[in-house]
A = this chain, B = another copy of it.
């Protein structure tokens, strides 16, 4: 054979799968994401399969076991998060506006929450995955200029760091995941309230110190 299906490099190529199989795989990942966030990573595999409308067999063919699935979900989430933040950061002249859009969009898409469903012990384990660590670093790199810019322009309170923003984001996303579709408008209100809390204010400085990128071990994102 002149060109066998190569083991294709890091996470890129879509793999030469049959179209229906590819669809299924994607639906499984998306469904699992939701299920993990809503019920914790302990949800029965069968529940995930049912929600994704596939058989358990299909699920296990795509992902050998729970951990493989979990990794796929986390990788996918991390990817979209980075993609999204890049999209909002590139060529941006309105840092505060961009930050707001990024946060709103994350909440809508429920991005960045899978970690928050993890039990502390497991959370540590996932954090160690190089991909995840690297992604978080990238995220911070992208967000920090935005925050600095917004603070410099006096549009954002100066006593918060990227860590604060990301933790709040995690909280909002987690909350959104537990909200029914028809109550989405309520969550979006609360996103705005939090964003308003991040706006510049003359009074009421925050206690403690800003949570920065270097505090990342404490985050849920």
Chain A residues packing against B (C-beta within 8 Å): 39-40, 116, 119-120, 157, 160, 163-164, 167-168, 171-172, 174-175, 178, 180, 183, 185-186, 188-190, 192-199, 201, 204, 206-208, 211, 218, 220
Contact = CB atoms under 8 A, between A and B. Distances in A.
Contact of A189 (B164, B190, B193): B164
A interface SS class: helix
A218 B186 CA distance: 9
A172 to B, nearest CB: 8
A164 B207 CA distance: 24
Given A40-B40, A175-B171, A218-B183, A204 B192 contact: yes
A43 B189 CA distance: 32
Nearest to A220: B178
B190 A167 contact: yes
A193 B207 contact: no
A206 B189 CA distance: 6
Contact of A194 (B193, B201, B208): B193
